[in-house]
């Protein structure tokens, strides 16, 4: 833990750069993978301030999330009873709609072909990122990516990048369509409706300034970042949460008892309820710790020669931050490889913050969407457990809690039953 914290926090000014993989020059860089510098700082400031302006930390955004949680519960109710189903697609759609509300100012109905198409393309894109392209020869596609990474000049061959990353190109094209719709309906005399409007205002203000990072290309990258990072990580964590509830029905019952005592069975959950729900908050934190969905974080790179824990690290060195070594540290956690909500509770049952809890990474490159993700995880999780009891379908084997590693560590495919309470 000490080495990771020293590198990411105490040395953050020297370790906040990203290595420049050649393939990303032809794909999505955005804020997440962008090099550390003026443009990154400008775009991060804009994203943080815009998220706050559109309700992050305020009742307005909380209401969006609780409304979406109600829609998600209604969709679960359509599946409810003894019929097994996978919650994955519904969770993806619900979390995507929170991002859509922020970026486009509207939500998709769950049967809208556009959200189905968007999520299908995103899945293809993420599989490409993890070297699992849907082609006749997966192995050949993966090798081809490695070759162009080693010899990036090959990407200058016309059409090669599109062949290696077809899902990425299709996803970006759909994002472009949605952005164009917003441009056509934008009334510059009115306040911004959403993030895209706010970005377009910055583009207009920066016109003629060659040093500004506000342009159409960065707009599409920021929007893509929000969908690809903000949606996938949160929905994957929620999928883990439901899996762990069916594997640990005793924990599920304790969460539901706390929900019944604090919120009841009718009123919608609110962020203010967290202060009175230490066990539920501990469970949400333990889901994130145990699931450990980004075990190696994202790569960093040193911008000058430094020392970390007495080791010399030269400028330009790529750093792989082993977040899993902190989240599963046997000297910190009582049962590091088990799902154990008591990791976040003291002897009196009060919630306890843990310094080693860093699923969002740390330092300057920590996830800017952390406050939004925390809000979504609590409100979606409590809403679902307020309305349903989840269980392993009768006759099906008990699913494993060992994750599947691709771009993220996802839960193994599973089904559940959602019985109305």
Residue ranges for the known binding site for heme are 367
What three-state secondary structure class fits 413? coil
Cross-strand pairs, 306? 313
Q: Give me 356's structure tokens.
A: 């080693």
d(CA 337, CA 388): 28
What are the binding residues?
367
Cβ neighbour number for residue 348 with a 10 Å cutoff: 7
Residue written as token pair 């993806």: 92
- In which element (H, E) is residue 311 found? strand 311-313
Cross-strand pairs, 417? 391
Cβ–Cβ < 8 Å for 248, 339: yes
d(CA 271, CA 58): 10
d(CA 25, CA 23): 5
Cross-strand pairs, 391? 417
Q: Give me 396's structure tokens.
A: 């099906």
Give start and end residues of each alpha helix (H) in 292-394.
323-327, 370-387
């Amino acid at each position: 833990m000490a080495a990771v914290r020293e590198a990411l926090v105490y040395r953050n000014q020297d370790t906040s750069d990203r290595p420049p993989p050649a393939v990303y020059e032809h794909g999505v860089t955005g804020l997440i993978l962008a090099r550390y510098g003026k443009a990154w700082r400008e775009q991060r400031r804009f994203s943080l301030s815009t998220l706050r302006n559109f309700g992050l930390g305020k009742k307005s955004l909380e209401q969006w999330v609780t409304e979406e949680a109600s829609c998600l519960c209604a969709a679960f109710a359509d599946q409810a009873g003894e019929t097994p189903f996978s919650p994955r697609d519904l969770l993806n759609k619900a979390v995507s709609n929170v991002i859509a509300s922020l970026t486009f100012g509207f939500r998709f109905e769950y049967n809208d072909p556009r959200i189905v198409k968007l999520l299908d393309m995103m899945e293809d894109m993420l599989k490409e990122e993890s070297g699992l392209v849907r082609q006749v020869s997966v192995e050949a596609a993966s090798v081809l990516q490695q070759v162009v990474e080693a010899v990036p000049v090959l990407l200058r061959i016309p059409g090669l990048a599109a062949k290696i990353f077809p899902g990425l190109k299709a996803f970006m094209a759909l994002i472009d369509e949605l952005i164009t719709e917003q441009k056509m309906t934008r009334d510059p005399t009115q306040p911004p409706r959403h993030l895209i409007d706010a970005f377009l205002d910055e583009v207009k203000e920066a016109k003629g300034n060659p040093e500004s990072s506000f342009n159409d290309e960065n707009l599409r990258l920021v929007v893509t970042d929000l969908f690809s990072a903000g949606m996938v990580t949160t929905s994957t964590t929620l999928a883990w949460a439901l899996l762990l509830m069916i594997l640990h029905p005793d924990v599920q019952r304790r969460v539901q008892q706390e929900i019944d005592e604090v919120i009841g069975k009718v009123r919608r959950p609110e962020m203010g309820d967290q202060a009175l729900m230490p066990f539920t908050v501990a469970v949400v934190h333990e889901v994130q710790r145990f699931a450990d969905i980004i075990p190696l974080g994202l790569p960093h790179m040193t911008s000058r020669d430094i020392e970390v824990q007495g080791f010399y690290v030269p400028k330009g060195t790529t750093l792989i931050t082993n977040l899993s070594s902190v989240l599963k540290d046997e000297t910190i956690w009582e049962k590091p490889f088990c799902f154990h909500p008591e990791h976040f509770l003291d002897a009196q049952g009060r919630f306890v913050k843990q310094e080693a809890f860093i699923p969002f990474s740390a330092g300057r490159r920590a996830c800017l969407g952390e406050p939004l993700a925390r809000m979504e995880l609590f409100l979606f999780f409590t809403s679902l457990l307020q309305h349903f009891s989840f269980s392993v379908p009768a006759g099906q084997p008990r699913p494993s809690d060992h994750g599947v590693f691709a771009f993220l560590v996802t839960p193994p495919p599973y089904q559940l039953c959602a019985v109305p309470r």
